[in-house]
Structure 1
């Protein structure tokens, strides 16, 4: 599902939000069309990032330039979330195309260590490690939220504490 904030039909300067859905059979290019549009409108990407609770940072193992973009996406997520860390999992896709591989396992693991996020390789085409990637991200999100809970509760207690001053 995509949201598009375009000009409203009225003459006011308000922005109208439309939820658009892209449908079609497998392999027809739905993702390619959506990604092409979202790449042009980085503000839309940031809107999705604001509401995300966990992120898969996906690159193609047979396209080094997609791998080179991963740190940029991580920085953008951390900036939008205004955090030093957030639940993320780096995913190298197309592990089935070993002969066309441009990003080595060692290079990907090194980058994931530098970014301090876990790494997994998968093949969406052959359904290798796809479920594992999502399950791992859910584990990362849960662990993060449990670690955050005491901070949120402490902040809430401080905010609602009655204060008294005797002169």
Structure 2
């Protein structure tokens, strides 16, 4: 595993976060899935000794580029024995954050497999995906050169961030980029609106990011 999570203080209210019902109607609904160890930005502090077999789901309302979005985030287990369940999540997801640890070569090797699996499950040549090299605070233990990860992201046409959940470096930025990628993909997939029914600007289409 890539290790290290951001975790809220206490479990109460994690799902929904106390948001009003109306907030979901006003914003885009977006779910996300992260793999190999970077947890959602709504968690507030770092935990290094967590059980990677446990799945956590969170909900948060945020604003990206001035547009509200509802983020339903699923932090999934990365073990091979959960492969069948992982494909189920992939089928439901509208976007994916693929996370490896810069100090763990094996976690980076898994990224390529996950990327291929996502495209196979989605039956697409491309899909909203962001690559994240976690544990950027462990530079002295680096096993994956930045240049190698950058080459991978460029060849697969996805954004790449080096992040630290512990230092909160590029965590929010990675998720925001994924929201942008999903929005762009959905705009390309949607048929053009007829002239008599212009698209409203005060809502936003619902979408699912895993």
Question: Judging changes above 3 Å, is the alpha-carbon distance between structure 1 residues 114 and 42 closer, same or farther for their aligned structure 2 residues?
Answer: same
Segments of structure 2 that go 5 or more residues without pairing to the other structure are 1-45, 55-76, 195-210
Match of 1:62 in 2: 103
TM-superposition CA deviations, 1:111-166 (whole Å, max 9, x none): 11112211111001111110000000000000110111127x79xxxxxxxxxxxx
Higher strand share: 2
TM-superposition CA deviations, 1:26-84 (whole Å, max 9, x none): 44523x12326x53121100001111100001000001111111111011001111111
Determine helix, strand or coil for the equivalent of 1:69.
helix
The 4+ residue runs of structure 1 with deviation greater than 2 A are 25-28, 33-36
TM alignment of 1:50-129, pairs within 5 A: 50-129=91-170
Determine helix, strand or coil for the equivalent of 1:50.
helix
Match of 2:188 in 1: 147
Match of 1:157 in 2: none
Q: Confirm or deny: 8 A CA contact 1:71 1:115 kept in the other structure.
A: no
Distance in 2 (CA, whole Å) between partners of 1:89 and 1:112 is 8
How far apart are 1:88 and its partner, in Å? Answer: 0.1
Q: Confirm or deny: 8 A CA contact 1:57 1:91 kept in the other structure.
A: yes
Match of 1:29 in 2: 50
Match of 1:5 in 2: none
Distance in 2 (CA, whole Å) between partners of 1:99 and 1:40 is 32
Q: TM-score, normalised by structure 1?
A: 0.70
How many residues align structurally? 127
Segments of structure 1 that go 5 or more residues without pairing to the other structure are 1-24, 155-167
Determine helix, strand or coil for the equivalent of 1:102.
coil
Higher helix share: 1
Greater relative contact order (Cα 8 A, min sep 6): structure 1 or 2? 2
